[in-house]
Amino acid sequence: MTETLVRIPQLTSRSGWRWIVATVVALVVVGAYVGVTQPDNRIFVVTVLPAFLLLFGALSWFSTWLDPAAGVLVRIRCRLWRTRVRLEPSTSVALVSDRGGTLLLRARPAQGRGLHVPVVARTDYVEKSQPSALLRQLADTVERHRAGGARPVAEALRKQADHLDGGGTVAGSPLAGLITTGVLTAAKAGGAGAIGGHLG
């Protein structure tokens, strides 16, 4: 990592992490029970369950970074796999809702995988916004590197930052109104609060 990288926090809560831990524990308990009481299914328990837990861990263990100087978003999973998206004219940016209570900054390159960065979260478990300094840094970066659709995104991020600096609440913030929810709000928001930034 270079000194220019800025970490983008996950918008989660202790309750969200408890939901993840409880889910893993429940899977292990159910797997152990099936392995003991149903010998015919033991092969399933010792093969599929560990693979599922590894996948779940890989989805949960990640960090997201911004390199403002280079204009790059980086996602690192399990300290091994990196996804990079350059915020350049061929990359489109937009603010989109995950329909689970989180507003995301979507960066979609012309080719390859995109990234989604959590900006504001409002669920049963968490009500958070990225800090104003980071919002302005994101706005400046997408504008400076001329990402597609940068101007309206940058303006919206700066309005959110101004609102927070003025003492405004997350619930009454400009970007909170862009959040939509589906019929099922990501396992009733427990999962959304913890893994709202995992898209991408």
* 174: amino acid identity, one letter: P
Residue 191 lies in a domain: no
Residue 141 lies in a domain: yes
pLDDT, position 41: 77
The model's pTM is: 0.70
Q: Please tell me the least confidently modeled range out of 1-15, 55-69, 122-136.
A: 1-15
Residue 129 lies in a domain: yes
Residue 17 lies in a domain: yes
Residue 196 lies in a domain: no
Residue 67 is inside which H or E element, if any?
Answer: strand 62-67
Residue 146 structural domain: 7-185
Q: How does residue 33 score in pLDDT terms, banded at 50, 70 and 90?
A: confident
Residue 200 lies in a domain: no
Q: How many structural domains are present in the chain?
A: 1
Residue 21 lies in a domain: yes
Q: How far apart are CA 73 and CA 71, in angstroms?
A: 7
Residue 194 lies in a domain: no
pLDDT, position 60: 58
- Tokens for 90, please give them: 């061929």
Q: In Å, how far are 11, 23, 123, 183 from 30, measured between CA atoms?
A: 30, 11, 28, 28
pLDDT, position 24: 64
Q: How does residue 37 score in pLDDT terms, banded at 50, 70 and 90?
A: confident
Burial of residue 51 (CB within 10 Å: 0-12, 13-18, 19+) is: exposed
- Asked if pLDDT for residue 116 goes beyond 80, the answer is yes
- % the chain with pLDDT above 70: 76
Mean pLDDT of the chain: 81
